Structure 1
Amino acid sequence: MVDKSEKFNWFVRLGYFSRAILYSVLGLIALTSAGKIAQGTNGIFQAVKEFPLGTAVLWLMVVGLLAYALFRFASTFFDIENQGSDAKGWAKRLGHAGSAIGHLALAFSAYKFASSGSGGSGDGAQKAASGVLSMEFGGVLVGILGIAFFVAAVFQAKKGLTGEFMHRISGAAPSYTRQIGGAGYVARAVVFLIIGWSLIKAGLLSAGSEQVKTLGDAVASLAGEGIVFTLVAIGLLLFGIFSFILARYKIIPDMGANGRVPIFRA
């Protein structure tokens, strides 16, 4: 019988695998198809749907992206990656919360394409933000989410530049993991900054929910930036490849006896 830790392990690895597909396709679209990248996140999932067995791949991504989001929520609330409860630890955990919410939104977009063949109008994130903004203190909540993405961007850039992410990757990983992971994290930091700023403008600067950008929208917004756009696109493609490596070689925390406190595999 497979124990809870082993189930958790494979659940998280499926999340990394889905993230790998997402970022690989995003990077390829950005580099090769101006039309699809202009569609933002919908362009990504439409491209996946056009793959052989594309609908099956989309359903796999729905489960995987949801798994990754839940993993990041667990990282936030239960500290399963042992970040700690000091200021630095909570800053990282707040960044994980932003990542979790972002991947929940991506899972929902993938679900719409997998179940109906279409992502609809492509403004799901804007509609969700509009609903939150209509609530009392809704602008503050959206703004806090934007700050969470800013915090996540800072730590993504730090990971990329220092290579600290290698501490939780098996030594059996390919020798080039450090280089492609570093480039990928820096590119992802740029995208997170754009998403965070869009949320801050919508929530704290009253710019309106139409300002909110999803992953694909953030990349599309760089399309006129020449070499910056190209470098970010290449970086995101590398992050996708890096995520495939993580799906195999990431050191996943075991679930503790109470289901919360982890220990790390050697």
Structure 2
Amino acid sequence: MTDISTQIPSPPPAWVKKFAKFGLSAKGVVYCLVGIIAFMAAFELQGQSTENAGKAGILKTIQDLPAGNILLAIVALGLLSYAIWRFIQAANDTESKGSDAEGIGKRLRYAFSGLVYGALAFLAARLVLGNGGGGSGDSRETLVSKLLQQPFGQWLVGILAAGTMLVGIYQIYYGYSEKYKKKVRSSGLKHEVEHQMIRAGKVGYMARGVVWLVIGYMFLKAALNSNPQQAGGSSDAFQFIENAAYGSFILGALALGLICYGVFMFMRAKYQPIYTS
């Protein structure tokens, strides 16, 4: 007889739950602000620009608010909590993904997410301490520049571009197919709340995927032209979209999608059992 206890993940310790919920909330704050500023930039409201809509720009926006350093410190701690939770998911297999190739791939994705948000938390902490440096676009340019200096550098950047675009395609597929619904339906929510979460997640994941695709395309251009300045982060992706035909409307719609993703993070923080996948 199969031992059921080996199939159902055990609830994590209370501190892990707090880290996860705090981290998801901080991520929600960042994405909601990214979406709001990007929407304002799309229609030139209150002088906002796409440069301010990148994650580094959002951190600076938080810092410029009343009691901004305190708020930014809280966001930094939240992002660090999220990063730690993702590392715990990867190392301890809290989602029961297994140790086969597919399971290891998913756990590596958790670890990569932890690295990304850990770096963002580090940037936020540097801003609080008055040591803020360049934004995420600058770091991507630096990475591409170093890769291009290596043997087969253009191929390396091309592989990075392909990987980034694949992430974007997967995010769009993940949202469109509603594969994330198990995160929602395991929460025991009322039908109305569950439906709202599913809709917010669908729009949010697809919008996020589009941003990843554009960033990957910019990496590809940097590889083909051997020009690191053509690589960029989310603010550069927003600028690229805004410069396209009907760009303001496309960027505005994308921004609303990112706000939906932020709302979905808030709802996950409130309702989702932390031990589920």
Q: Aligned partners of 1:47 and 1:10: how far apart in 2?
A: 26
Partner of 2:25: 17
Question: How far is 1:183 from its partner?
Answer: 0.5
Question: How far is 1:26 from its partner?
Answer: 0.5
Partner of 2:213: 193
Q: Tell me if structure 1 keeps the 8 A contact 2:154–2:226.
A: no
SS at match of 1:222: helix
Q: How does 1:156-195 map to 2 (within 5 A)?
A: 156-169=171-184, 170-172=187-189, 174-175=193-194, 176-195=196-215
Change (3 A) 1:58 1:119: farther
Question: How far is 1:149 from its partner?
Answer: 3.1
After superposition, give the CA deviation of every residue in 1:196-229 in whole Å (9 maximum; x if it has no partner): 3334554x54634333322333233322223321
Identity %: 31
Q: Give ranges in structure 2 of 5+ residues lacking alignment.
A: 1-10
The number of residue pairs the alignment matches comes to 252
Give the aligned residue type for 1:30.
A
Q: Aligned partners of 1:189 and 1:232: how far apart in 2?
A: 10
The answer to whether structure 1 residue 44 and structure 2 residue 44 are counterparts is: no
Partner of 1:111: 125
Q: Aligned partners of 1:11 and 1:26: how far apart in 2?
A: 22
After superposition, give the CA deviation of every residue in 1:3-47 in whole Å (9 maximum; x if it has no partner): 972211111212111111111101110111453423433321221
- Normalising by structure 2, we get a TM-score of 0.75
Q: Find the structure with the greater CA-based Rg.
A: 2
Change (3 A) 1:214 1:91: same
My pick for the range that moved more, 122-131 or 178-187, is 122-131
Q: Give ranges in structure 1 of 5+ residues lacking alignment.
A: 254-263
Q: How does 1:1-266 map to 2 (within 5 A)?
A: 5-33=13-41, 34=44, 35-39=48-52, 40-76=54-90, 78-86=92-100, 88-116=102-130, 118-120=132-134, 123-131=138-146, 134=149, 145-169=160-184, 170-172=187-189, 174-175=193-194, 176-202=196-222, 205=224, 207-224=226-243, 225-253=247-275, 264=276
Q: Tell me if structure 1 keeps the 8 A contact 2:178–2:202.
A: yes
Q: CA RMSD in A?
A: 3.2
